[in-house]
């Protein structure tokens, strides 16, 4: 039996191994980056009132349904297209004017759930409303990124959560991906002196629980010193407010500055369940978020780290259009999300909330699925490829124009996606990914044609022709028969859409 | 029938109480059979405890918030409750009070006057072994609950849905057993109530005016209590609370077949809790070897249980209060209306580390941040209270059997023995040697820092 106080990985005896798809290196990270990207997720607990956050202050219905709690146009901070930020969001408004905030409207999913707990689970796992998953979407991403876990722990924490109770977001059948703490130095001090042994627990109900405890002990021992060292090496170059959220973001900035390669951070703010007297409470919450996020962005910018990091907000649901009898709002459905960072396109994405055409419960209908936002962040920020992104959600979701490198247009205009072949120039074999999306809500497949053309427009090699189910696909193309020169790979559909990608054969 | 032996009795005590001492275990064995231990000790009725102080009857006043009284009283109330747990003996009433506090989760952040929370806490004590259906009725119009879930001032004309949703989702039926329409209709029925000082008052002019409302396809002019009767006619009701009890006392992943048996017992006894608890603690299911040692202690079990294990005479309730916050179980402040999820949710890198820091503090008399903790263990007196104190191997075995429900491997026992001996030999072991004090402390620290110690 070996006792350890750090450094040696502890294998999970009673947990089964999982097959994984190894990504080609070219897809794994954005070329030329000095360091990996990081995503900072801010969870708004309780169900944020989207209509009083991104406000339709030129819509008469909004005022008629919320006589006591509507926010007037002259108090809001103008965005565009008749929408306004909450007056407390001055910091975010400034970032927006600098092109660093994408506001994506009407995010939700089919058959929305209005229970805090079930809805939070849905957002954390990335499941459909009628399916129960017990693994977080982030932990499925991390499984792809760190396929050796939990047999081996990577150098830096895989995910960091500021707080005390680990989110489902970081839980998986493979174990816990998150390292959870409130203060780096205190964390180090507490863990110091702990030990964990490498014995495998018995494969019993109690043994499983013991195995779980041992994994937490081992990862705490391993990462406490890494985190403390990162915090000591890193710095904050901007003065943050004293709110709890600002403190969380300041620690995250410090760890990023200290060189931690952790790809996902989770921060948290509660108090959004505004059933009564909501005006003041909601104002304070958004002032807190806005001030904290703008401090964080300033800090990163001062340190030249802002191109590596983006911030995404989410909440389990929005709130009802109609105010209730206690000057608050009850549980609702679709709501906006914010994505903030130097690399976002910026602007208002999607149509304004439709206050006339509500669902049978009086709630706003969603326009974009929440996993479209997640898929966009995974692919265009964290650099995951289409097929691995699909495997996280077990469905393909069309991306939204959130980042500079995201597709230009909103999804209703496209039903196909073709990624540039790699390598390019190519010798004999090229790796190709493409996606087929539903052209309307009824179709589950499309008739497509994928082929290689020369520059005169002559087809030189057919790759696929026929029906394809909705989804993302990857393949290795044998191009050894082609002579050296310039070619076009073209994906077209019976819907009339066509995408071309250039390729050089050596 | 379960076998009457020390292992099974210790398992029963570990789950039904906030831990136990060597003396508690011996006393329990004295009952000679499960039936007597359960009926005469665990489920015995007891008089209500005296109030923590006279403030419990004061009408709420803003001044009590402004001058800090309310916050101080909340502390006093929490210390008082910890003392009820520490002094529970072999009676499980306080465990049920905590169960109901978690089930009908109310947060002091919103229920800002401890007078209301105290009333609710006593309500749970009154019904600890009583009628669950009646408890739901009383809780529905309990001032703390009216404040917490916005029933206070809800009017029939535009009712607040908060309570109607949570009573169905979290208190009685569970998700999937009601529709959004049921919630909207029920919200009307629960309207009309207001909290006036320490009591709830019904005002019919604030109630719904529809001739009838339709809930679960039945149209009637429901009142709050007749609606609850109707909710309890739904098949899911008995199963829901039985499942929750199973998850608390047996295993966090419910055995659905056994849950159905529990639900039958509950229905046959018109939702009386005592027959159900008697059934559960006499069942073979509860004593299965695979169940024993599979529960991750909640912070109250860990803290109160450690104090009991160490026979602490003057437990520092301030230390419990402060560490409970760090360990994510501040009493009267559950995380949300669903309460504490329990089991693995207790454990993260931070809370796991703080658990070790807490048990250390009982031995060192110092909290992780250097603050003094009263009631520091006298290691020699403690060790000598065990018959095997002078026999190192047997002493380790006895402490392991007393404090760990998870069977410890011989290799790990050897580690504990080596820690106790710390260089000396079994032959030379005695509590009368110069550094025995330090050695016993090191041994107890290692014992309580084992991951196995977190299980019960």
pLDDT tens, residue by residue, A426-473: 999 999 999 998 877 677 889 999 999 998 889 999 999 999 998 999
∠ CA B208-B212-B217, nearest 5°, is 125
The more confidently predicted of residues B172 and A15 is B172
Whole-number Å distance between alpha carbons of A335 and A111: 15
Contact A191 B349 (CB under 8 A): yes
∠ CA B221-B223-B226, nearest 5°, is 100
Q: Which residues contact B292 (CB under 8 A, 6 or more apart)?
A: A206, B7, B11, B405, B406
Helix (H) or strand (E) holding B122: helix B114-126
Q: What is the pLDDT of residues A356-377, one digit of tens each?
A: 999 999 999 999 999 999 999 9
Token readout for B443 is 């041994």
Measured in angstroms, the CA of A5 and the nearest CA of chain B are apart by 13
Peptide bond into B47 cis (omega under 30): no
**Which among B153, B296, B455 has the least Cβ separation from residue A326?**
B153
SS3 content of chain A, % helix, strand, coil (to 5): 30, 25, 45
Contact B292 A182 (CB under 8 A): no
Whole-number Å distance between alpha carbons of A320 and A333: 7
DSSP letter (8 states) at residue A505: E
CA distances A315 to A42, A117, A489, A497, B370, Å, are 9, 11, 41, 35, 39
Whole-number Å distance between alpha carbons of A112 and A109: 6
Strand A429-436 relative to strand A416-418, pairing:
antiparallel
**What's residue A1's pLDDT?**
33
Angle between helix A184-191 and A205-233 (nearest 10) = 130
| Whether the predicted pLDDT of A8 surpasses 50 | no
Whole-number Å distance between alpha carbons of A411 and B410: 63
Whole-number Å distance between alpha carbons of A27 and A73: 45
Specify which residues A484 forms β-bridges with.
Answer: none
Q: Is A496 exposed, middle or buried (0-12, 13-18, 19+ CB in 10 A)?
A: exposed
Interface of A with B in 202-241 (CB under 8 A): 204-206, 209-210, 212-214, 216-217, 219-220, 223-224
Q: Which residues contact A469 (CB under 8 A, 6 or more apart)?
A: A436, A444, A445
Q: Which residues contact B205 (CB under 8 A, 6 or more apart)?
A: none
Contact B281, B42 (CB under 8 A): yes
Token readout for A503 is 């390729």
For residue A128, the SS3 value is: coil
**A-B interface: how many C-beta pairs under 8 angstroms?**
141
Neighbours of A395 (CB within 10 A): 16
Whole-number Å distance between alpha carbons of A349 and B237: 45
pLDDT tens, chain B, 456 aa long: 899 999 999 999 999 999 999 999 999 999 999 999 999 999 999 999 999 999 999 999 999 999 999 999 999 999 999 999 999 999 999 999 999 999 999 999 999 999 999 999 999 999 999 999 999 999 999 999 999 999 999 999 999 999 999 999 999 999 999 999 999 999 999 999 999 999 999 999 999 999 999 999 999 999 999 999 999 999 999 999 999 999 999 999 999 999 999 999 999 999 999 999 999 999 999 999 999 999 999 999 999 999 999 999 889 999 999 999 999 999 999 999 999 999 999 999 889 989 999 999 999 999 988 899 999 999 999 999 999 999 999 999 999 999 999 999 888 899 999 999 998 999 999 999 989 999 999 999 999 989 999 999
Whole-number Å distance between alpha carbons of B263 and A260: 52
Q: Is B407 exposed, middle or buried (0-12, 13-18, 19+ CB in 10 A)?
A: middle
Work out the average pLDDT over A75-95: 97
Contact A155, B318 (CB under 8 A): no
Q: Is B107 exposed, middle or buried (0-12, 13-18, 19+ CB in 10 A)?
A: middle
| Whether the predicted pLDDT of A6 surpasses 50 | no
3-state secondary structure A393-446: HCCCCCCCCCECCCCCCCHHHCCEEECCCECCCECCEEEEEEEECCCCCCCCEE
Q: Which residues contact A31 (CB under 8 A, 6 or more apart)?
A: none
Whole-number Å distance between alpha carbons of B183 and B181: 5
Residue among B134, B119, B138 nearest B51 (CA): B119
Residue among B261, B269, B229 nearest B243 (CA): B261
Q: Is A372 exposed, middle or buried (0-12, 13-18, 19+ CB in 10 A)?
A: buried
Specify which residues A478 forms β-bridges with.
Answer: A429
End-to-end CA distance of chain A: 57
Measured in angstroms, the CA of A265 and the nearest CA of chain B are apart by 15
Interface of B with A in 142-171 (CB under 8 A): 150, 153-155, 157-162, 165, 169
Strand A347-349 relative to strand A101-108, pairing:
parallel
Q: Would you call A45 an interface residue with chain B, using a CB distance cutoff of 8 Å?
A: yes
DSSP letter (8 states) at residue B40: I
Whole-number Å distance between alpha carbons of A158 and A260: 10
User: Which chain B residues have a beta carbon less than 8 Å from that of A326?
Assistant: 150, 153-154, 160
For residue A48, the SS3 value is: coil
* B268-280 as b/e: b if 16+ CB within 10 A: ebebbbbbbbbbb
Token readout for B282 is 């006499």
**What's residue B95's pLDDT?**
98
**What's residue A31's pLDDT?**
38
End-to-end CA distance of chain B: 22
The pLDDT-based confidence of A184 (bands split at 50, 70, 90) is very high
Residue among A366, A379, A502, A503 nearest A435 (CA): A379
Contact A126, A374 (CB under 8 A): yes
Contact A209 B353 (CB under 8 A): no
Measured in angstroms, the CA of B334 and the nearest CA of chain A are apart by 12
Least confident of A73-87, A97-111, A167-181: A167-181
Specify which residues A403 forms β-bridges with.
Answer: A344
Residue among B160, B163, B182, B197 nearest B56 (CA): B197
Contact B153 A114 (CB under 8 A): no
In this structure, is the dihedral angle defined by the CA atoms of residues B428, B432, B436 and B441, taken in order, positive or negative? Answer: positive
Residue among B120, B128, B234 nearest B172 (CA): B234
Q: Which residues contact A381 (CB under 8 A, 6 or more apart)?
A: A37, A39, A310, A341, A343, A403
Least confident of A19-23, A151-155, A288-292, B42-46: A19-23
Measured in angstroms, the CA of B52 and the nearest CA of chain A are apart by 31
Measured in angstroms, the CA of B145 and the nearest CA of chain A are apart by 14
The pLDDT-based confidence of A23 (bands split at 50, 70, 90) is very low
Contact A335, A103 (CB under 8 A): no
Q: Would you call B357 an interface residue with chain A, using a CB distance cutoff of 8 Å?
A: yes
Q: What is the pLDDT of residues A169-180, one digit of tens each?
A: 999 988 899 999
Q: Would you call A317 an interface residue with chain B, using a CB distance cutoff of 8 Å?
A: no
User: Which chain B residues have a beta carbon less than 8 Å from that of A325?
Assistant: 153-155, 157-160
- Find tokens 């909440």 and name the residue: A315
**Which among B158, B451, B454 has the least Cβ separation from residue A325?**
B158
Kindly state the percentage of chain A with pLDDT values over 70. 92
Contact B411 A199 (CB under 8 A): yes
Within chain A, what is the greatest distance between any pair of CA atoms? 75
Kindly state the percentage of chain A with pLDDT values over 90. 72
**Which among B290, B350, B451 has the least Cβ separation from residue A210?**
B451
| Whether the predicted pLDDT of A143 surpasses 70 | yes
* Nearest residue in A to B161, CA atom: A330
Q: What is chain A's mean pLDDT, rounded?
A: 89
Helix (H) or strand (E) holding A141: helix A137-145
């Amino acid at each position: 039996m070996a006792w350890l106080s750090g450094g040696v990985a502890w294998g999970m005896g009673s947990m089964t191994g999982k097959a994984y798809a190894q990504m080609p290196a070219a897809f794994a990270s954005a070329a030329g980056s000095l360091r990996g990207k990081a995503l900072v997720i801010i969870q708004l607990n309780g169900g944020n009132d989207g209509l009083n956050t991104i406000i339709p202050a030129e819509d008469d219905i909004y005022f008629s349904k919320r006589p006591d709690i509507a926010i007037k146009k002259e108090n809001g901070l103008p965005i565009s297209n008749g929408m306004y930020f909450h007056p407390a969001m001055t910091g975010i408004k400034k970032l927006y004017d600098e092109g660093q905030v994408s506001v994506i409207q009407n995010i939700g999913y089919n058959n929305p759930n209005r229970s805090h707990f079930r809805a939070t689970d849905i957002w954390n796992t990335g499941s459909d409303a009628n399916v129960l998953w017990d693994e977080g979407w982030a932990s499925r991403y991390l499984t792809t990124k760190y396929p050796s876990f939990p047999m081996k722990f990577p150098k830096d924490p895989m995910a960091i959560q500021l707080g005390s109770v680990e989110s489902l977001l970081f839980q998986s059948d493979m174990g816990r991906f998150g390292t959870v703490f409130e203060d780096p130095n205190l964390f180090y001090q507490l863990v110091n002196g702990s030990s964990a042994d490498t014995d495998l627990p018995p494969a019993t109900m109690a043994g499983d629980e013991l195995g779980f405890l041992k994994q937490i002990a081992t990862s705490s021992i391993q990462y406490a010193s890494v985190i403390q060292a990162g915090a000591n090496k890193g710095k904050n170059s901007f003065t943050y407010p004293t709110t709890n959220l600002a403190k969380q973001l300041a620690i995250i900035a410090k760890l990023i500055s200290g060189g931690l390669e952790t790809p996902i951070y989770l921060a948290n703010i509660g108090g959004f369940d505004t059933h009564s007297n909501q005006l003041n409470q909601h104002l304070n919450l958004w002032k807190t978020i806005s001030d904290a996020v703008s401090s964080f962005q300033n800090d990163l910018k001062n340190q030249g780290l802002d191109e590596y990091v983006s911030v995404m907000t989410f909440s389990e649901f929005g709130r009802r259009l109609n105010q209730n009898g206690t000057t608050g709002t009850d549980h609702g459905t679709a709501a906006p999300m914010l994505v903030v960072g130097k690399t976002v396109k910026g602007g208002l994405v999607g149509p304004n909330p439709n206050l006339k055409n509500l669902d049978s419960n009086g709630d706003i209908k969603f326009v974009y699925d929440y996993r479209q936002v997640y898929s966009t962040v995974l692919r265009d920020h964290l650099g995951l490829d289409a097929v691995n992104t699909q495997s996280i959600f077990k469905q393909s979701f069309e991306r939204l124009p959130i980042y500079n490198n995201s597709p230009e247009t909103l999804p209703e205009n496209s039903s196909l996606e073709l990624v540039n072949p790699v390598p390019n120039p190519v010798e004999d074999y090229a790796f190709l990914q493409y996606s087929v999306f539903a052209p309307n809500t009824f179709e589950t497949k499309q008739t497509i044609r994928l082929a290689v053309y020369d520059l005169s427009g002559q087809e030189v090699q057919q790759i696929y022709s026929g029906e394809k189910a909705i989804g993302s696909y990857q393949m290795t193309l044998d191009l050894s028969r082609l002579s050296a020169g310039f070619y076009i790979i073209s994906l077209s559909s019976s819907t009339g859409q066509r995408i071309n990608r250039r390729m050089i054969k050596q | 029938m379960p076998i009457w032996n020390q292992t099974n009795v210790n398992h029963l005590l570990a789950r039904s109480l906030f831990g136990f001492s060597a003396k508690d275990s011996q006393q329990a064995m004295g009952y000679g059979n499960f039936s007597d231990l359960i009926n005469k000790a665990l489920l015995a009725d007891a008089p209500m405890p005296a109030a923590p102080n006279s403030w419990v009857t004061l009408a709420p006043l803003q001044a009590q918030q402004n001058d800090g009284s309310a916050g101080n009283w909340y502390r006093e109330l929490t210390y008082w409750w910890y003392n009820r747990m520490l002094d529970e003996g072999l009676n499980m009433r306080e465990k049920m009070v905590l169960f109901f506090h978690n089930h009908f989760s109310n947060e002091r952040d919103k229920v800002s006057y401890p007078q209301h929370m105290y009333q609710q806490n006593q309500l749970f004590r009154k019904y600890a072994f009583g009628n669950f259906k009646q408890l739901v009725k009383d809780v529905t119009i309990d001032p703390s609950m009216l404040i917490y879930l916005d029933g206070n001032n809800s009017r029939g004309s535009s009712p607040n849905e908060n309570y109607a949703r949570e009573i169905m989702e979290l208190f009685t039926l569970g998700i999937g057993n009601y529709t959004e329409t049921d919630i909207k209709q029920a919200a009307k029925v629960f309207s009309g109530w207001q909290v006036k000082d320490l009591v709830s008052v019904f005002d019919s002019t604030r109630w719904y005016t529809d001739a009838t409302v339709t809930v679960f396809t039945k149209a009637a002019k429901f009142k709050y209590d007749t609606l609850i009767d109707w909710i309890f006619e739904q098949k899911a009701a008995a199963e829901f609370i039985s499942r929750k009890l199973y998850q608390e006392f047996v295993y966090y992943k419910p055995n659905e077949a056994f849950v159905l048996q529990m639900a039958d017992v509950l229905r046959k006894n018109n939702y009386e809790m005592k027959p159900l608890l008697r059934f559960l603690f006499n069942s073979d299911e509860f004593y299965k070897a695979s169940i024993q040692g599979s529960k991750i202690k909640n912070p109250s079990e860990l803290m109160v249980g450690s104090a009991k294990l160490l026979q602490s005479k003057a437990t520092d309730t301030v230390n419990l209060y402060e560490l409970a916050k760090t360990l994510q179980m501040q009493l009267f402040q559950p995380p949300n209306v669903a309460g504490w999820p329990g089991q693995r949710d207790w454990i993260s890198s931070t809370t796991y580390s703080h658990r070790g820091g807490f048990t250390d503090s009982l031995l060192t008399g110092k909290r992780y941040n250097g603050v003094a903790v009263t009631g520091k263990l006298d290691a020699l007196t403690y060790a000598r209270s065990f018959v095997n104190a002078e026999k190192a191997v047997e002493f380790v075995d006895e402490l392991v059997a007393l404090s760990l429900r998870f069977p410890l491997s011989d290799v790990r026992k050897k580690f504990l023995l080596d820690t106790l001996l710390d260089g000396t030999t079994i032959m030379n072991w005695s509590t009368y040697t110069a550094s025995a004090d330090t050695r016993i402390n090191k041994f107890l620290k290692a014992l309580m820092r084992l991951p196995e110690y977190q299980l019960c």
